[in-house]
Structures are given as structure tokens and as C-alpha cells.
């Protein structure tokens, strides 16, 4: 019976290990910062063997990226409001909340850490970027499918997300709703070739 239950919940143990490891990474990041702990320390905190982590994630960089993506997707899911303006305003507001929150610069810190961690780090950083860009691209594709004009994903990165990240990083003023809405309005009012 226990066997059958286990069979009905494939990855039940895998899911518990995943959750414990993600929580351990999140705790270690907030206590020490990115790049300041090892796979062994994550394993000890999560109560799992080092080998479980290496088998599942391969290396610390991939694990960090997986945790960052899960948090990003939970905190700033890609909205689908029916209009590009609605989607972008909703998304920009979520990113603003995320980057001004307690773990605000998580993505910037992670990107800096990964960029300093050799080839593996650079690959993990690229995976993170590609996955988020893919999600953003599907929002923009939906808009084009509805017949709306839409900027490129990189234009959204350049003129909506980059200013918010850099302002928080450099400690420039609060990201007011007016400011965030203004970034989106300005992007949407630009004529694209």
C-alpha cells in the first residue's frame, strides 16, 4: 500500500528533497550572500547527502540558478491580462516590488556571482537569462498575435527592467508607481521600426 501511494506520487521524496535544498539555499543566501557557501553546507542544512545535490543539479551554479528561477517565477509570474499595456504594467510593477523587497537584488547578485565563477557560472547565468527571456517573449508574441505592435524582449530589458535594477543597485530614490508606469508608457510610445 505504501508502495502504491509512493507510485501515485512520483517524485514525492524528490519533491521534499527539492524543497529542503531550495530552502537551505535561500537561507544561506540571506545569511551570507551569494558565492559565500558550498554544496556541502547546503547539503548539511537541508539534511541530504552531497551526492543527492550533485546528482540532481550537477554543480552549485546550476542549483543557484534553479532557485533564482523558482523565486522569480513565484514572485513575478508573466501576466496575461489581454493587452500588451496591461501585461507590461503588471509585470513592471511586480519586478519593482521584487527588486525593492528584502531579497531585492537577488538576480543582480546572482548574475554577478555567476559571472565571476568561470565557464560553469557563465553557462548557468545564460540559462537563467534565456529562460526569463523566453517567458517575456511569449507575452510579446501574444500581443503580436492580437495585432498589437510590440517591442522586442531586449527593449523591455533595456528600458524597463535595467533602469529599475540599476536604480536599486545604486540606491537611487524609491521606485514609485508613477516612475514604473512611466518606463512602460515611454517604451510603448516609442515607434519601433
Which CB atom, from 147 or from 171, has the smaller least distance to a second copy?
A: 171
| 154 is a site residue for a second copy (CB under 8 A) | yes
Which CB atom, from 30 or from 73, has the smaller least distance to a second copy?
A: 30
CB atoms within 10 A of CB 14: 12
Binding residue (CB under 8 A) for a second copy from 52, 129, 131, 148 = 129
Query: Segment near a second copy (CB under 8 A), from 2-10, 42-50, 139-147, 159-167?
Result: 159-167
The cell for 7 is 507510485
Query: Segment near a second copy (CB under 8 A), from 38-46, 58-66, 73-81, 123-131?
Result: 123-131
Q: Which own/partner contact pairs does 173-176 have at CB distance under 8 Å and 24+ positions apart?
A: 174/100, 175/96, 175/99, 175/100
| 115 is a site residue for a second copy (CB under 8 A) | yes
Residues from 18 through 57 that contact a second copy (CB under 8 A): 33
Q: Residues with Cβ < 8 Å from 136, sequence gap 6 or more?
A: 78, 91, 153, 156, 157
| 69 is a site residue for a second copy (CB under 8 A) | no
| 163 is a site residue for a second copy (CB under 8 A) | yes
Compute the Cα dihedral for 32, 63, 167, 98 and give only its sign: negative
Rounded to 5 degrees, φ, ψ at 119 are -60, -45
CB of 169 to a second copy, least distance (A): 5
Write the DSSP assignment of 109-145 as a string of letters: HHHHHHHTSHHHHHHHHHHHHHHHHHHHHHHHHHHHH
Binding residue (CB under 8 A) for a second copy from 93, 122, 135, 142 = 122
Residues that bind a second copy (CB under 8 A): 33, 105, 108-109, 111-112, 115-116, 122, 125-126, 129, 154, 157-159, 161-163, 165-167, 169-172, 183, 186, 190
Amino acid at each position: 500500500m505504501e508502495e502504491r501511494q509512493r507510485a501515485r506520487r512520483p517524485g514525492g521524496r524528490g519533491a521534499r528533497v527539492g524543497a529542503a535544498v531550495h530552502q537551505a539555499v535561500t537561507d544561506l543566501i540571506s545569511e551570507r550572500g551569494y558565492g559565500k557557501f558550498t554544496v556541502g553546507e547546503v547539503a548539511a542544512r537541508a539534511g541530504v547527502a552531497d551526492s543527492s545535490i550533485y546528482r540532481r543539479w550537477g554543480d552549485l551554479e546550476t542549483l543557484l540558478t534553479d532557485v533564482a528561477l523558482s523565486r522569480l517565477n513565484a514572485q513575478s509570474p508573466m501576466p496575461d491580462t489581454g493587452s500588451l499595456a496591461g501585461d507590461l504594467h503588471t509585470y513592471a510593477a511586480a519586478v519593482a516590488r521584487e527588486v525593492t523587497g528584502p531579497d531585492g537584488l537577488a538576480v543582480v547578485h546572482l548574475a554577478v556571482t555567476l559571472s565571476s565563477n568561470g565557464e560553469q557560472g557563465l553557462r548557468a547565468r545564460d540559462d537563467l537569462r534565456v529562460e526569463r527571456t523566453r517567458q517575456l517573449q511569449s507575452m510579446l508574441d501574444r500581443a503580436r498575435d492580437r495585432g498589437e505592435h510590440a517591442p522586442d524582449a531586449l527593449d523591455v530589458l533595456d528600458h524597463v527592467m535595467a533602469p529599475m535594477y540599476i536604480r536599486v543597485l545604486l540606491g537611487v530614490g524609491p521606485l514609485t508607481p508613477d516612475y514604473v508606469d512611466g518606463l512602460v508608457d515611454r517604451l510603448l510610445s516609442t515607434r519601433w521600426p
